Amino acid sequence: MAVGAVALNHRDKMVIESGRGLPLSFPFTPGSDLAGRIVATGEGVERFAIGDRVISCFTPEWIDGLRAGTARTPVYRTLGGFFAGVLADYVVLPDHWLIAAPATLDDVQASTLPCAALTAWFALVERGRIRAGDTVLIRGTGGVALFALQFAKMHGATAILSCSPEKGDHARALGADQIIDRHRTDELDALYALTGDRGADHIVETVGGAHLGLSAQAAAVGGRIYQIGALDGFDLSSPAMPLMMKDVTIHGIATGHRRAFEDMVRAVERVRMEPVIDSRFPLSGLPDALDRLDTGPFGKIVIEMSDRTNQDGSI
């Protein structure tokens, strides 16, 4: 297929710089999130035809149900990690590693969906069964956080963002109901005041480290915490009593399966939701794009590949 755009994740930068402990085979191509067009098919391909627009599945072998693996050996077989990635002009992938791109989005927008959007959807919708009237606390304004905000509003929930004040107005324009300055030392008191001491039904935890403890204290009785990010470290810590006394559930979220991805894309298409793009770079600007990941982008960073295909998919 001809690749139209590839969205970047912090994980891509980590893989490029250190390998992130993954069993990489060299030469290695990074990147996991593509949108493109089928330009040729092999024998036995039934899901797509030449000319179809598609997006990649981040965990391509996970179709539905529980993730593969055991307690001793969890499985993490992803594009741009275990499998070679997609940051190239053309790639060859099995057809079941792809899904149809939403007709309402262009390639740059659609490329943001495989990792960040699916992670947020899998947390709030697939695992959390979010409902109208729920309260969601979201940390940050990166890709996962802003998709969580959009999905929360899509389902009629109240969204509270913890972010820097200078990004608060942008978040409100996306539908955020309340903003808490992430620099406040009394963040918990601010949340309690906003919710009448009830706390948050859903917490999208993108920081990790000791922030899990703050999330435990912020959670409502019966609340759910979605442990997604580890920007503050992979060793998580929390006081036990809030978790125990409030019957809090912690979900470890590492993207999601293809069936949930297809559900999400249908929802995105139906409501005509548009992903938030922070910046776009050509492939030659990849070093600058990776640096931009470290500056706190508002939304997704995307590499735009050269368009070498006609509308009918021919080269």
Per-residue pLDDT at 180: 95
239-257 confidence digits (pLDDT tens): 899 999 999 999 999 999 9
State how far the Cα of 15 lies from the Cα of 32, in Å rounded to an integer: 11
Per-residue pLDDT at 17: 86
**pLDDT of residue 102 exceeding 80:** yes
Per-residue confidence at 308, pLDDT binned at 50, 70, 90? very low
Residues 87-101: what's their mean pLDDT?
96
3-31 confidence digits (pLDDT tens): 999 999 988 998 888 877 777 778 889 99
Per-residue pLDDT at 311: 40
Classify the C-alpha dihedral 48-53-58-62 as positive or negative: negative
What does pTM read for this prediction?
0.92
Per-residue pLDDT at 220: 98
